Amino acid sequence: MDLSGKKAIAIIGNGIAAVECVKALRQSGDDREIHVFGAGSLPPYNPMLTSYYAAGKIEYATMFPYGDSQGIFTDHGVILHLGAPVTKLSVKERTVTNAQGFTLSFDQCLIASGASPFIPPFPGSDGKNIYPMRTAEDAIRLKAALEKKPKKALVVGASMVGIKLVELFHHLGVAVCLADMAPRIFPLAAHPDCAAIIEERLRSMGVALRFSAGIEGVEARPEGGIQARFSDGGPPEEADLLMACIGVRANTGFIDRTEIEARQGILVDRYQRTSAPGVFAAGDCCMGLNLLTGESQVIGLLANARKQGRIAGLNMAGQEAAYTGEIPHNITHFMGMDFIGIGEVKDYTREEKRCDSTHYAQFFYRGDTLCGANMLDNLEDCGVIKNELVKQLL
């Protein structure tokens, strides 16, 4: 089918940013044809919940914030093209083509293709028993692996995703080692003092930690499972499975970077417009304004993806809505702890600690201005601190 000449909207990606764009278009009275392209066939899922499903803590249906059918799209009159990734977006021809060879001519396009886990190309990186964790499909695969009752797991990447997997294995009684090339846990979000407390608590719960250890290679063991070598010169780590939580990359392989400007993600203005006329981008595939630094960066947060998707939809429908920016933050509950890392925890001129036997709070200032915070077990204060930061910056 080629819809040349017809006014159609193409949306690349079927995640949360895509849904919010569709909703905003229809709420604004836009009745053009909307075509959503999805690499996978499952309904939009919440990546934050995938590890809970794999652990058996939530039902399958709970992973899908808009329901476990495609109703959120079909109820809005969307035409779906699922199970085949978009392989080419041509700005010059104003077309989108997917892996099945289907081409659609578009009037406007939203790129909402999210991000994918990045596994560096170390020897053995493409072997069996190496698991990424992001999509609902990843969760289904991991759940199947867990049914084989592994005894030991290796989690590479001491990130927010990595710690969720540590929690999963600990909960299931599987011995777990957490490794990272960084010298501590949550290297981007936690101050060394706060990280040290978290690490001590994890060790006391039996989690093995291996820091300043970059993964160098993985071999399959004859008896099954893997053996991983690290740069710290220590003994290899043996495990039944390896979870790769090393980082993510924006899904932008289908764009021509001479047509659409991109760095770590697609560059957008405050209306979510890319450098190509009529082409917008939202969510983890694009950059957003970091209110603290004033720089553009990929902000991999669910609320940000929702916000950018909605703003893109409103502007595509001819309304005017602007993105004001975001303060990068991490709020994570794991192993009985609530960790909150907001804003800047490295580049500060003054710090202040308020700790007692049950609470830990550390605030960072540039001059007299609050620029970041770390908290443990203080979930209720988090919103207050974030609002305080935003108030200072807007």
Select from 21, 22, 55, 112 the one that contacts ligand FAD (CB under 6 A): 112
Q: Is 40 in the site for ligand FAD (CB under 6 A)?
A: yes
- The piece of 110-118, 208-216, 223-231, 350-358 that touches ligand FAD (CB under 6 A) is 110-118
Sign of the C-alpha dihedral, residues 198, 201, 205, 210? positive
| x/- track of binding to ligand FAD for residues 6-25 (CB under 6 A) | ------xxxxxx--------
DSSP for 55-122? Answer: TTSS-GGGG-TT-SSSHHHHTTTEEEE-SS-EEEEETTTTEEEETTS-EEE-SEEEE---EEE-----
Residue with Cβ nearer ligand FAD (8 or 348): 8
217 or 247: CB nearest ligand FAD: 247
Nearer to ligand FAD, 303 or 355 (CB): 303
Does position 86 interact with ligand FAD (CB under 6 A)? The reply is yes
Q: Give the footprint of ligand FAD on residues 236-265 (CB under 6 A).
A: 251, 254
Give 332's Cβ-side CA count (13 Å radius): 26
Question: What distance in Å separates the CA atoms of residue 323 and residue 319, rounded to the nearest whole number?
Answer: 13
Specify whether the CB–CB gap between 311 and 273 falls below 8 A. Answer: no
| Residue 37 sits in the site that holds ligand FAD (CB under 6 A) | yes
Residue type, 122: F
For residues 356-380, one letter each, b for 16 or more C-beta atoms within 10 angstroms of the residue's C-beta and e for the rest, the string is eeeebbbbbeeeeebbbbbbbebee
Structure tokens that stand for 350 in this block: 């003054």
CB of 39 to ligand FAD, least distance (A): 4
Could you say which of 39, 72, 314, 340 contacts ligand FAD (CB under 6 A)? Answer: 39
Query: What does the alpha-carbon distance between residue 312 and residue 324 come to, in Å, rounded to a whole number?
Result: 13
Tell me the C-alpha distance between 144 and 284, whole Å: 28
Instruction: Give the nearer residue to ligand FAD in terms of CB position, either 89 or 239.
Output: 89
**Shortest distance in whole angstroms from residue 123 CB to ligand FAD:** 26
Rounded Cα distance, 359 and 31, in Å: 52
> Which of 204, 227, 214, 48 has its CA nearest to residue 154?
227
Residues 266-325 binding ligand FAD (CB under 6 A) are: 283-284, 300-303, 305
302-316 helix and 16-27 helix, angle to the nearest 10 degrees: 30
* Min separation Cβ 177 and ligand FAD, Å: 19
3, 48, 79, 390: which one binds ligand FAD (CB under 6 A): 48
**Smallest gap, in angstroms, from Cβ of residue 113 to ligand FAD?**
4
Site string for ligand FAD, 159-198 (x = CB under 6 A): -xx--x----------------------------------
Q: Which is nearer to ligand FAD, 108 or 332 (CB)?
A: 332
Closest distance to ligand FAD from the beta carbon of 351 (Å): 25
215, 230 contact by CB (below 8 A) = yes
Give the residue, chosen from 34, 38, 150, 180, that forms a contact with ligand FAD under the rule CB under 6 A: 38
